[in-house]
Amino acid sequence: MALFEVERTVRAPEVAVWERLTDWPAHGGRVPLTRIVGVSEPADGVGARFTARTGVGRAGFDDPMEVVAWTPPAAGRAAGRCRLVKRGRVVRGWAEIEVYGPEAGAADGGEVRVVWREELGVRGVPRALDPLVAWTARKVFGRVLDGLLRAR
């Protein structure tokens, strides 16, 4: 499986950053050729499920995911953390989103640090191509993260 990590900093309240990054339907507007379907109620917390449908027309695949860890940011906590497990036939693995609040005493709120870490395997893609998969995913999900962080 290919492991990659993307990190960004942003000047925004950490709770607002968390809400942007865990707004699952918003991911569909940022990931190329993908829409989010079947979002469970509630959409947050352990046990929440949704599916990323990637493709054009009938040609495509589903990437069903389940939230297996959910710790929103809060005062006195090192970081907010969400972990997703990918349960599809085509894409397997996991993703983690971590939101670190500003340093104590930072001027005008300070910067919030976001880490998106993911390990993914794509059925039919040989492990020898993991470095290429990781490089491509880092580029794609870096843009996704940038877009979600810019969203208002």
In which band, very low, low, confident or very high, does the pLDDT at 16 lie, cut at 50, 70 and 90? very high
**Mean of per-residue pLDDT scores for the chain:** 92
- Could you tell me what percent of the chain has a pLDDT over 90? 82
Residue 140's pLDDT is what?
A: 94
Arithmetic mean of pLDDT, 11-25? 94
Q: What is the C-alpha separation between 4 and 119, in angstroms, rounded? A: 6
> Where exactly are the structural domains of the chain?
2-150
Instruction: Give the pLDDT confidence score for residue 102 in this predicted structure.
Output: 84
pLDDT tens sequence across 105-152: 555 667 999 999 999 999 999 999 999 999 999 999 999 999 999 976
Instruction: Tell whether the model's pLDDT for residue 8 goes beyond 80.
Output: yes
Q: Over range 31-50, report the average pLDDT.
A: 93
CA–CA distance, 142 with 152 (Å, rounded to integer): 18
Q: How confident is the model at residue 76 (pLDDT cuts 50, 70, 90)?
A: confident
* Cis-peptide, bond into residue 42, ω within 30° of zero: yes
Q: In this structure, are residues 101 and 14 in contact, taking their beta carbons and an 8 Å threshold?
A: yes
- Distance of alpha carbon 48 from alpha carbon 83, whole angstroms: 11
For the domain covering 2-150, report its CATH number: 3.30.530.20
